[in-house]
Amino acid sequence: MKNNSAISGNKGASFAHLPSKPGQIFYRIPYLFLQKAKDRVQDAWESVAPIMETLKKEAKTHTIDKEETASFTCDDGSHIEISTTISDLWIKAETTTPPATSPFQKIDTLIKELKKPAYKYICEKSRALAFPLVAGTWGDTVKGFIGLDAGSISINIAFVDTSGVVFETDYTLTEGDIINNIKKAFNRLSQKLPANIDILGSGVTGSGHEISAALLGADVYETELDAHAEATLHLLPGTQVIFDIGGQDSKVMYIEDGELEEAGMNKKCGAGTGSFLDAQADRLGIPIEKFGETGLKAKKPYSFSSMCTVFVGRDLIAEQAKGNTKENIIAGLHRSLAMNFYSTLGINKKHLKTPIAFQGGVASNSGVIKSMEDLLFEARGERVELFIPMHHKVMGSIGMALFARDEVEERGNFRGIETIQNITSHFTECTRASELGCTKGMLCDLVHLSEGDTVVQTLYACEAYENTPEGSMSEPLSTKIGG
């Protein structure tokens, strides 16, 4: 049986943004899709200004830390905290008295008046439930779509609701085991989601799209470039050019009239990708998460003589031996990566249209952002800011959830998270070649996906095999995702 609605096993306590006990009421206000992160946060704080004023009057004590966090304690012992994340403003309230009493009812009323998406979270029978704001009242369930980007480095999942809010995401390393790590990713995602979501359909992209589409029962497939562009134009409307640097490849996408017009990918050289920085981080003994802030402290960034990974590594060792600082070396690496990105993708920096979005895992690195912007300034004679979208590491999955939202007219084929967890795979050679009159010199490799003792789909089989009773037990993948 498919389980498209509830998230099995979610107790709510494992994720900080889910209420875990009665008496807790959380409100979530997603940011608007603005170009600059600071503007998104400022808009969110401005939207809750009436709530802040109400709480100041109701609270016995309160503290406000430069609009980063706010805390209020009321006479009845109830406590309310307002804080922000990368994509949302949260109001978390906890009380020992009935929540219908002041100030909770006032908060609820004020949030219902918002002209933007908002959600109310409660804990019921140890389950976290979320209710979307719909026409001034709270709806029953959060309906949405799953997007999955199964790549060689990572598996990214996003749940996007029908209003276009990126509700939750997950980033899991592929580690050469795509099926089990898709299961792991869904398990992690389910811990973040409330129990009353309703999954209406799904879409897939990435190098592992065939097996992931079969595992999910996906409704839609699009190329990785289309998926990334779709997500960017959703989160940063008006974008003209997209830079994307991931773990193993880099891309540039050109947008015309809101559509992906042209794109280029770099798959031959790793010096303009995240794997280049990962390798140098290992050499320097500095966590890659600290590379950006470390490089920004450089007094004189080192200029590497080559953009090739091999020769950069040679120069790095030589500079260390001379006593050059890690800050200078790392800043030089950032500039080398940026130069390689522009060069290998043939980007004319002078003629790029703006605004420009920068995404992928490397967009987390503030040092790379600075180097990319510096090179644009040197070429154009004017400063150009690169805009980093929310959820920039998982854009492919967001794009596929959006494609599913736009293309699935009725409830789709999504198997359900619980069912996905129960599916196993078996890799084997075709045993029916003689029976089918196959004249190939080598037997075909097949993958059987099974739920219990029942084969639900066979991958990579020929048309003759699929037309047999054994092969037709499930619909061929090509017809499920439009060829």
Taking the C-alpha atoms of residue 52 and residue 81, their distance in angstroms, rounded to an integer, is 10
Fold of the CATH domain 142-234+396-407: Nucleotidyltransferase; domain 5 (3.30.420)
CATH architecture group of domain 24-125: 2-Layer Sandwich (3.30)
Q: pLDDT of the chain along its 483 residues, tens only?
A: 344 444 444 433 335 678 888 888 999 999 999 999 999 999 999 999 999 998 888 888 888 886 679 999 988 788 899 999 999 999 999 877 666 666 788 899 999 999 999 999 999 988 999 999 999 999 999 999 999 999 888 899 999 999 999 999 999 888 888 888 999 999 999 999 999 999 999 999 998 898 899 899 999 999 999 999 999 999 999 999 999 998 778 899 999 999 999 999 886 655 567 777 887 788 888 888 888 899 999 999 888 866 666 677 778 888 888 888 889 999 998 998 898 899 889 999 999 999 999 999 899 999 999 999 999 999 999 999 999 999 999 999 999 999 999 999 999 999 999 989 888 888 888 877 777 778 777 778 888 888 888 888 887 777 777 766 555 444 433 333 333
Domain 142-234+396-407 and domain 237-388, same fold? Reply is yes
Dihedral, 225, 228, 233, 234 alpha carbons, nearest 10 = 140
The helix or strand, by DSSP H or E, that contains position 59, with its residue range, turns out to be strand 59-65
Q: Domain boundaries in the chain?
A: 24-125, 142-234+396-407, 237-388, 420-480
Taking the C-alpha atoms of residue 127 and residue 352, their distance in angstroms, rounded to an integer, is 50
Fold of the CATH domain 237-388: Nucleotidyltransferase; domain 5 (3.30.420)
Please state the pTM of the whole predicted model: 0.88
- Whole-Å CA distances, 92 to 17, 28, 134, 290, 417: 9, 9, 20, 31, 28
Q: Which residue has tokens 């990708």?
A: 273
